[in-house]
Structure 1
Amino acid sequence: MFIVLLYPTSSERLSLLTCREIKSIHSELSALLSVLSILKQQTDDNKSSAKHLLVLEVPLEECNHVIKEIQIQLKPKRSLLGRAFHRSRWPLLEGQLSAILLKIERYKSLFGLAISAEQHYLSTGIEVLARNTDMKVRDLLDRVQVEFTAAEQERNRKIESGLAKSRARILKWVYRTPFDERHLEISGRRQLDTGTLLTLKPEFQSWVKENPDFKILWGNGIPGAGKTFLRSRVIDYLTNNITSRLPANIGVAFLYFDYKGRAEQSPPLILCSLIHQLASQLSLIPAPLESLYNDLSQKNKSLSSEPTPAYKLLLEILKMFKRVYFVFDALDECEEETQRRNLIPMFHGLASSGASVFITSRSYPLDINESFSASTGAVSITLAAQEEDLRIYIEQKINGNTHARRLISPTIKDNIIQKLVDCAKGMFLLVHFFIEDICKRTTVNEIKRSLQDLDSTLAEEDSLLGIYQRVMDDIKNEHESRRKLALKSLSWAVKAITPLSVHEFCQAVSIKEHLQDIGPGDTPDISMILERHSGRFVL
């Protein structure tokens, strides 16, 4: 028995290594084939988005076919004869394989470029999408912010509207009548610079300064001295100059007393007016006022019905201001027993609480004189029409009248001014009547004769009597119907117990004996009445 030992030759060992390489290549090709299948599947599934991979559709098919063919060729033979045959063909197969592998490498390079382009396209798209998304998010946030701000503003508007309505309701409950109508009317008639000298007086400056030397300033003067005009100048000075020059939170309140309005100027109503004025100057309704409103309104009570709580409330409101100025005009027109007896102690109480009080009146009412004498701590100042104020007033009245401006030469104007100033003796009302009379004259000679009738040596009351006589003479020289209208209107204006509205006044002057009904055709137009009393009546 012969035993033959077969040892692999070097050629066979090489063939064995080559077979291992072939298996390795076969495995790599299988893996590559799987990757290509996945890539082809993604290309087929995303034809609309994978734009750069669509060009690979044909190369993928070709590469797939090549790989399958080479897999078949590289598949190892299981029989001995097949292995021998396979080894005998290896050199030829190796050359073919190199060409195929090179082709596959080209396909791989193509696939890599396509994938890189697609990745760049996708990354760029993602960046654009991210930017667009960021812009949309920012736009959305901006819209949300705008809507939120609008909603917040609307909410605040509703709150402010509710607070404004509540504020208006409470202030109207405190005092219904507009407090500044009288002041606006007087300020409108006052010439621009009238009263400036008063505000420059040392007594006034000592009273108005930040740390005043005294709290009560009493301005007194003769009838017709223009105290009301001077007082209106003080109010304007306080509201326009002091409140802007001194630190913030300065309050100003005022009242014009009138003997015809005594029913509307009782001490409780005066308290209510002062509370209304000061509360209106605060940004929010004071809590004590709101509390008192809630308490009294539920009981259907007005603030004027409770003067003691109202006075305490006024003192509480004073504390909410750094400084408060009160100005009261024509105190002498208040009735002594029912009004001044309560008002004067109230004025002293306000001063004691830190307020600065300015009061004007005639000098002779004894109770006023005693209440504001030097012994009480008050300071007195004499109010009279200053020569400079009179000159300004006369010149502006002449310049403001077209007819008078054409008739009166500069020389005559100077003569008029000097004459009126000399005869005025500090009485603004006297000058007012004189200049109104002169401006109605129709010729230069009439103006000159009117000036000759003026006598600066006349006593004060005789001067007034002379002016009043001129007024009556003018009325008597009118046509009969106009004369009767002027006398009736003058009589009703002087003797009416309460103030009359324009309609009531026109009806009153239309009353005639045996007239049972007054219709629209019976009442004169208010302009006709004002024309008959040019300068004497003010609407």
Structure 2
Amino acid sequence: MSDPLSIAGSIAGIVQLSASVFQQVSKFIKDAKGAEKTVKDLADQTRNLSGVLQNLSLLASSLEQETSISAFKAHHLHACRQTPLAVGKRLDKPLSGFNEGSRREAVYRSLKWPFSVDDTKGLLAQIEGHQSTISLTLSIDTLESMLKCLEKQDSIIGSISLLNQKVERLTAIQTRIEYDEKRQKIIDYFMKVKPQVYLQTSSRLRQPLTGLWLTESNPTFWKWADLPRSGLWLSRIPGAGKTILSSMVIEKTLQKSSQSVAVAFFYCDYKNIDSQKLLNVLSTIAVQLGQQNHEAFGILEEYHAGLKSASGLNAEPEPKDLLDLILTIISVYAKVFIVLDGLDECGDNVAEVAEAIKFLFEASSSASIAVFSRDEPIIQDEFAAEFAHIEIAAHTEDLDIYIRAEMAHRRQPHNLSIQNPLFAEEIRHQLVNGAQGMFRWASCQLDYLCDPSTNRARREALTRKPLDGRLYFWEVGRCQDASSQRRGGGLY
């Protein structure tokens, strides 16, 4: 697979999106009688937006090889994507009727531009604003890169790199108190599984735009993050990028952490037996919360001292005692966030882990807990009543931008050369709808579409039905083997 995880890859996907919307709007200008001048202006500005985005993509590709800052952040990309995405969705229905219905019906439908004059002007203003932001970014980042080349000194850059900021934020959970050797031994005793390793890996893999539909646009998530106590259950099908999303939620909560707001997180991994044990889940949550406040660490230290037997050896803690410990530590803070990923991967321990997490939620008045898992009956029974529910697979924005970026990248080496733009759009629609939220399925299909040499053969490949759950993991393994032979591995 290509690298759709970079800023450049994300921008490439938006370039394809804006170009597609330009073609849609242009069709209204061509076929609709009395089209408003603002419609033509909208088409022109959308085309211009695609052009400046292409320049930004080229610049980002060069800057990503450096440790340079990019002045253009992910939320800017999100805004640039949302405007053409909204236009495209509104135009899909009338254009579908124009393309598929009779000519007489098409002419009738084409007369109806789906936006009011004011709405069209508003969209025009948004797109012009995006262009201004990007143009400014191009000048800033080009100057920054030029200065670095001329001076050969990183000190010219006056702020910390984004990567360093992220690492600093992720490690802040461990650096708020001054550790001595005794304290480090206590931390090592409880930290049987290191969730930071999983978080750092997922953060490296995440595409900059991934998950913004959740953290920036979803009122259910906002409510969970803002209320003093709330539960959130996010379910997904295999391959829907669940762990990537959970890591983004963790990072979002880490930004809120302080002396009075603590964050704990844990990744259950079917490949790591230690991560499936309730004792390790609770111990890790306890030690993370204990590290973020002096008073909290004192509680953890006192509990650890009580575990010593007469022989001086530490006794094994009991899950019930750990639950009481966590609740005591939570009481030190004004607010606590707990995020658990992959509950369904706990094997035979799913029920007891789910029950323990639910107990923490019910017994605390200041804990907001988010659980990521498959939609399995045993998990649903625990969380459906009291936790708000978000179905991850129901959201296709991340998948759509991923497929656009992949198709744009694969055209460059001509291994997916499609001269017919309408057929390219048909491929995108088929992949987005057929994947049912599974990134890996879409990647497999793109791999296969690269093999046929004709569009006829590619069209036949598109007729394959989406994989059901029984075949999914078998297909993933087969695709990974094929991908490794071609490009050396994949993402999900």
Deviations 1:466-505 (A, max 9, x none): 9929937975xxxxxxxxxx9xxxxxxxxxxxxxxxxxxx
CA distance in 2, matches of 1:162, 1:325: 23
Residues 402, 413 of structure 1: CA spacing in aligned structure 2 closer, same or farther, 3 A cutoff? closer
Aligned to 1:455: 463
Displacement of 1:432: 3.1
Q: CA contact under 8 A between 2:307 and 2:316: conserved in structure 1? A: no
Q: Within the alignment, does 1:534 sit opposite 2:491 as a pair?
A: no
1:317 maps to a residue whose letter is I
Q: CA contact under 8 A between 1:436 and 1:535: conserved in structure 2? A: no
Query: Equivalent of 1:432, from 443, 456, 463?
Result: 443
1:453 maps to a residue whose letter is A
Q: CA contact under 8 A between 2:295 and 2:332: conserved in structure 1? A: no
* Paired residues for 1:100-115 under 5 Å: none
Displacement of 1:234: 1.5
CA distance in 1, matches of 2:275, 2:415: 45
Q: Within the alignment, does 1:217 sit opposite 2:235 as a pair?
A: no
How big is the alpha-carbon RMSD for the aligned residues of Structure 1 and Structure 2?
3.7
Q: Within the alignment, does 1:308 sit opposite 2:323 as a pair?
A: no
CA distance in 2, matches of 1:455, 1:346: 46
Displacement of 1:362: 1.8
Deviations 1:245-264 (A, max 9, x none): xx762222112222232344
Aligned to 2:356: 346
Aligned to 2:389: 380
Q: CA contact under 8 A between 1:272 and 1:304: conserved in structure 2? A: no
Q: CA contact under 8 A between 2:411 and 2:417: conserved in structure 1? A: no
CA distance in 2, matches of 1:161, 1:469: 44
Residues 451, 252 of structure 1: CA spacing in aligned structure 2 closer, same or farther, 3 A cutoff? farther
Query: Equivalent of 1:269, from 275, 280, 292?
Result: 280
CA distance in 2, matches of 1:421, 1:161: 47
Q: CA contact under 8 A between 1:326 and 1:356: conserved in structure 2? A: yes
Residues 463, 394 of structure 1: CA spacing in aligned structure 2 closer, same or farther, 3 A cutoff? farther
What are structure 1's unaligned runs of at least 5 residues? 1-159, 476-485, 487-529
1:383 maps to a residue whose letter is I
Q: CA contact under 8 A between 1:331 and 1:359: conserved in structure 2? A: yes
* Paired residues for 1:93-492 under 5 Å: 163-199=179-215, 200-211=217-228, 215-240=230-255, 242-243=256-257, 249-283=260-294, 286-297=297-308, 299-302=311-314, 304-336=316-348, 339-352=349-362, 353-354=364-365, 355-363=367-375, 365-374=376-385, 377-384=386-393, 386-398=395-407, 404=413, 408=417, 411=421, 414-438=425-449, 441=450, 445=453, 449-450=457-458, 452-455=460-463, 458-461=465-468, 468=475, 471=478
CA distance in 2, matches of 1:420, 1:467: 19
Report which of the two structures shows the higher radius of gyration computed on alpha carbons: 1
CA distance in 2, matches of 1:284, 1:470: 48
CA distance in 1, matches of 2:473, 2:430: 15
Displacement of 1:318: 0.8
CA distance in 1, matches of 2:234, 2:335: 21
Partner of 2:263: helix, strand, or coil?
A: strand
Task: Calculate the TM-score normalised by the size of structure 2.
Answer: 0.54
Partner of 1:286: helix, strand, or coil?
A: helix
Partner of 2:321: helix, strand, or coil?
A: helix
CA distance in 1, matches of 2:470, 2:186: 50
1:274 maps to a residue whose letter is I
Partner of 1:218: helix, strand, or coil?
A: strand
Displacement of 1:171: 0.8
Task: Calculate the TM-score normalised by the size of structure 1.
Answer: 0.50
CA distance in 1, matches of 2:433, 2:332: 48
Q: Could you say which structure has the greater relative contact order, defined with CA pairs below 8 angstroms and 6 or more residues apart?
A: 2
Deviations 1:365-400 (A, max 9, x none): 3221211222xx222221216222112212334556
Partner of 1:259: helix, strand, or coil?
A: coil
Residues 472, 260 of structure 1: CA spacing in aligned structure 2 closer, same or farther, 3 A cutoff? closer
Instruction: Report percent identity of matched pairs.
Output: 27
2:381 maps to a residue whose letter is E
Displacement of 1:534: 3.3
CA distance in 2, matches of 1:369, 1:357: 15
1:208 maps to a residue whose letter is A
Q: CA contact under 8 A between 2:351 and 2:379: conserved in structure 1? A: no
CA distance in 2, matches of 1:302, 1:190: 40
Residues 350, 465 of structure 1: CA spacing in aligned structure 2 closer, same or farther, 3 A cutoff? closer
Residues 321, 472 of structure 1: CA spacing in aligned structure 2 closer, same or farther, 3 A cutoff? closer
CA distance in 1, matches of 2:439, 2:188: 37
CA distance in 2, matches of 1:430, 1:270: 31
Q: CA contact under 8 A between 1:296 and 1:302: conserved in structure 2? A: yes
CA distance in 1, matches of 2:180, 2:195: 19
Residues 370, 407 of structure 1: CA spacing in aligned structure 2 closer, same or farther, 3 A cutoff? closer
1:461 maps to a residue whose letter is D
What are structure 2's unaligned runs of at least 5 residues? 1-175
Q: CA contact under 8 A between 1:186 and 1:229: conserved in structure 2? A: yes
CA distance in 2, matches of 1:462, 1:282: 45
Partner of 2:195: helix, strand, or coil?
A: coil
Q: CA contact under 8 A between 2:234 and 2:391: conserved in structure 1? A: yes
Displacement of 1:426: 2.5
Displacement of 1:455: 2.5
Partner of 1:384: helix, strand, or coil?
A: helix
CA distance in 1, matches of 2:393, 2:469: 18
Aligned to 2:28: none
Residues 418, 327 of structure 1: CA spacing in aligned structure 2 closer, same or farther, 3 A cutoff? same
Partner of 1:260: helix, strand, or coil?
A: coil
CA distance in 1, matches of 2:435, 2:491: 21
CA distance in 2, matches of 1:442, 1:460: 20
